[in-house]
Amino acid sequence: MGAPGSLPIRQPDWSRSCAIHTTQDEFDFDFHGLARVRLAGPRAVDVEAVGRQLGVVPVPARGSADLIIDYRAHGPEPRGSAWMVGTATASSDDRVFLRDASGRTWTSYSFADSPTLRLERAHGSGKVPLLTQLIAAIVRSRGVTPIHASGFVWNGKGVLVMGWSKGGKTELVLPFMERGATFVGDEWMYLVDGRMFGLHEPIRIWDWHLTDLPGLRARLPASARRRLRVLGRMEQMARLFGRLPLAPEDGTRRIAELINRQRFVQLTPDALWGGRTTQNVEVDRIVLVVARPSDTVELYPIESGQVAEHMAFSNIEEMRPLSLLSDQMRFVNPHVSAFVNHDPSTEARRLEAALSGVDAAVLTHPYPAPTQDLFSTLRTAL
């Protein structure tokens, strides 16, 4: 697409009712009233990419913003005077540059002491690296408690599900959603005065989820079902080929494993469950989900303060990429203040204050998580 003009934004799931056109140079994403992200000079594809990432509909820019992303025809690039620091490159003007996952474009981050953070990117460069971590850092400075978690409403009760990455949070949410729960968020939740808001970014659905939840398969778009079917056959063929006498066993096994890691689709909550989504829900129950080397699923009570002690390290781990980027910037510019706190004691105290007084439980399970067993075990306690 060309520069901002009169071209309409292609309406994805998150903005079916939105009639915004790129007839202006700036758009805002008001993140539940907790933070405001502004895109300056974007194309329609840029607005769509950030909208999908945050699950928020864009609105015309107004007032001030907490984070401004400047889009250019040609993205930023570090100059020869910059220092290469591990995975990033930092310059003396308080900017740090990070390559996108594709390796083709850079994003620059300014950690200068300013009330507004600034990023610079090229048009059409897709998802914004570290955007959710940046939002977590912004809202934390205002007394909001971000937490690596998922959330849903079941029989009128708000359930906050926490755990380590790939520990079974999504696997617990999915079966409840299949039985009529209301979705609040996945991956990141934000606690304010005992109430939770959630991130509505696309959810990763693995093909093995569909085996446990056949009703979910029926709601996938035909293109998504086709992708999973083709990848499944490709993996099967690779493994069969590896059994041939002259086939390179290690090579075919690596190919099969690579294909296996791609057997998923990503869909927005609206695409999966339509209008069964919400925000601003009271937290009535906390569930800490933990995988362990066992064949059984068990549920037992725990103090919310203990959950906070465990989750402090999960939060720090999820913020680590942004913390690293901040430290790389400070290696070149020691005068710049630390942008991310990574002290476990401080994080645990913050979480304990936010979770205080809420009933909590630990739900342990084998890996991979058996979704139906997770549902039946927790349902009896809600």
For each of the domains in the chain, give its residue range(s) and CATH number, in order of start: 13-129 (no CATH), 143-202+273-379 (3.90.228.20), 206-267 (no CATH)
At residue 24 the predicted structure's pLDDT band, cuts being 50, 70 and 90, is low
User: What 3-state DSSP class applies to 274?
Assistant: coil
Report pLDDT digits (tens) over 227-261. 999 999 998 988 888 777 766 777 788 898 999 99
- Residue 320, amino acid: R
Least confident of 6-20, 102-116, 131-145, 182-196: 6-20
Q: What per-residue confidence (pLDDT) applies to 297?
A: 94
DSSP secondary-structure letter at 286? E
pLDDT surpassing 50 at residue 6: no
How do strand 26-31 and strand 88-90 relate by DSSP bridges? unpaired
Bridge partners, 104 (sequence order): none
Report which of residues 253 and 131 the model is more confident about: 131
Distance CA 358, CA 282 (A): 10
Average pLDDT estimate for 209-225: 90
Report pLDDT digits (tens) over 150-197. 999 999 999 999 999 989 999 999 999 999 999 999 999 999 999 999
Q: What per-residue confidence (pLDDT) applies to 333?
A: 87
Q: What per-residue confidence (pLDDT) applies to 113?
A: 61
Q: What per-residue confidence (pLDDT) applies to 5?
A: 33
Bridge partners, 192 (sequence order): 195
DSSP secondary-structure letter at 14? G
Average pLDDT estimate for 357-371: 93
- By the 10 Å C-beta count (0-12 exposed, 13-18 middle, 19+ buried), 52 is classed as buried
Average pLDDT estimate for 142-146: 93
Report whether 124 contacts 111 (CB < 8 A). Answer: no
At residue 361 the predicted structure's pLDDT band, cuts being 50, 70 and 90, is very high
Report pLDDT digits (tens) over 292-303. 998 999 999 999
Q: In terms of C-beta distances under 8 Å and separation of at least 24 residues, what long-range contacts does 248-252 make, across chains too?
A: none
Q: What per-residue confidence (pLDDT) applies to 185?
A: 95
**C-alpha torsion sign, points 53, 59, 64, 68:** positive
CA nearest to 23, candidates 10, 6, 45: 6
CA nearest to 53, candidates 108, 125, 149: 125
Q: What per-residue confidence (pLDDT) applies to 122?
A: 94
Average pLDDT estimate for 35-57: 94
Q: What per-residue confidence (pLDDT) applies to 94?
A: 82
Average pLDDT estimate for 67-73: 94
At residue 2 the predicted structure's pLDDT band, cuts being 50, 70 and 90, is very low
